[in-house]
A and B are shown apart, each in its own frame.
Chain A
């Protein structure tokens, strides 16, 4: 009897506890959601600080020096909204994997030379650089050579490497610090991983 009484009392207490837990859980869920939102806000702010800039719609002020014939400067920048979030992922993945070897990067679309996701590099610089692959490929094809397959890279004077990889319909340009770079890791491990990620991107 007493047991029953106490048992019943215990059941009531347990029910109360469970209710309380449910309330707490929903509260923590809400808290989590709020935290997640805050986190994404902070992330976006950080990416802005790191110059992962949603590029402007058009670039009117292009420096026109030695190389600047209108044909060479057909590149345009465009809104990042139209591009897959995978590009963000790729850049943060590379930053993490390459560490100090990573310096800057940007993507360009093969067909239109549209430049996007400039990270730590000015848009006008990327426009000039973005023509390197297209020009090299057209020279190769004109002279009955095969075009570039997966990658090309240049050892440049201030201990940097300009590495360009082909990712389906896009090129990824990377500026890397030669002294910290493990080229084999980039070519044999990171490049295939990134290439498999970009296969599913809508063109």
Chain B
């Protein structure tokens, strides 16, 4: 893993979201601890690690396939939580200000570019 590139991928996300990114963390599945982040929030990492594993269990038990690329929660107080899933058991969570960015930009531009940068960093 290339740590420099990993940090760069967060910078790419930050730049694309143009002030809408409140906090972001990258962690490995079932560890609940952050590898890299922006305005890191250890509590959030532990929480969303738990949420992801719960969702996967619920989907599996109900006979559905597990999570693919991401899940998104629209929270009260205009916040969006997006948690990206990666094949190498990494997760990337981000808290975004809903009023400063639209969903289309987030899902179709910011996230795909960040994902691409992250995958390059992991492959390095």
- Contact residues of A with B, CB < 8 Å? 63, 65-68, 124-129, 131-132, 135-136, 139-140, 143-158, 160, 162, 175, 183-184, 187
B60's closest neighbor in chain A, by CB? A66
Q: Is the CB of B61 within 8 A of A65?
A: yes
Contact residue among A63, A127, A156 (Cβ-Cβ distance under 8 Å from B67): A156
* Known A125-B63, A136-B51, A143-B43: A152·B57 in contact at CB below 8 Å: no
Which residues does chain B contribute within 8 Å of A160, judged by CB atoms? Answer: 64-65
A156 to B54 alpha-carbon distance, docked (Å): 14
- Contact residues of B with A, CB < 8 Å? 43-44, 46-47, 50-51, 54-55, 57-77, 79, 103-104, 107
Q: Is the CB of B107 within 8 A of A146?
A: no
Q: Is the CB of B79 within 8 A of A146?
A: yes
Q: Is the CB of B74 within 8 A of A149?
A: yes
* Known A139-B50, A145-B47, A148-B75: A156·B59 in contact at CB below 8 Å: yes
Nearest chain A CB to B8 CB, angstrom units:
25
Q: Is the CB of A183 within 8 A of B55?
A: no
Summed over the interface, the residue pairs from A and B with CB atoms below 8 Å come to a total of: 101
Which residues does chain B contribute within 8 Å of A67, judged by CB atoms? Answer: 57-58, 61
A136's closest neighbor in chain B, by CB? B51
Which residues does chain B contribute within 8 Å of A143, judged by CB atoms? Answer: 43-44, 46-47
Q: Is the CB of A132 within 8 A of B54?
A: yes
Contact residue among A132, A175, A184 (Cβ-Cβ distance under 8 Å from B103): A184
Nearest chain B CB to A10 CB, angstrom units:
71
Q: Which of the listed residues A124, A146, A150, A160 has the most CB atoms from chain B within 10 Å of its own CB?
A: A146
